[in-house]
Structure 1
């Protein structure tokens, strides 16, 4: 599962108080089996959520344009991330 994941991937939380909420992956920490997640609202780029790989479900949706912005250093804004997750309407 972790080899399929990439920056910009949309994931669903399956454990914890944020269960059933969707996030974007902004960083993968394979050595600790963690990812850093944002949703643009509660979890912003300035304060990403650390989440264990076992506690998320990977979706097939990838925000390629937002991922490119994050990887080049010109991080996309919280508003754009929030809009992307809302437009995706994965529920």
Structure 2
């Protein structure tokens, strides 16, 4: 399932289990083969990320280069960049789903 892919910093994920089920977030850190740190820039800020088990996440095939580059160069990313990355991916995909009648 979701654990077959390796998580990457900057990757967009959908939460499939837990309190935030159905919401999207960005991976801002990889703990080990099972856990990652996620944040969305609004409810879950960069300074207070959520540690999630990979089996509770759906790894989407989208990586935000803005987020990954920022974390690699400075070790941080702004909450605005996290929101921008999510809006860039999540809003267009939900519009496509509506157009297809899903």
Residue 87 of structure 1: CA displacement?
Answer: 2.1
CA distance in 2, matches of 1:24, 1:40: 9
Determine whether 1:10 maps to 2:12: yes
Q: Secondary structure at the match of 1:72?
A: helix
Larger Rg: 2
CA distance in 1, matches of 2:71, 2:9: 8
Aligned to 1:80: 81
Residue 2 of structure 1: CA displacement?
Answer: 5.7
* Shift in CA distance, 5/79, structure 1 to aligned 2, threshold 3 Å: same
RMSD between superposed Cα atoms in Å: 1.6
Between structures 1 and 2, the one with greater helix share: 2
Unpaired segments of 5 or more residues in structure 2?
Answer: 95-102
CA distance in 1, matches of 2:40, 2:66: 16
Residue 20 of structure 1, aligned match among 14, 19, 22: 22
TM-score (norm: length of structure 2): 0.80
Between structures 1 and 2, the one with greater strand share: 1
Unpaired segments of 5 or more residues in structure 1?
Answer: none
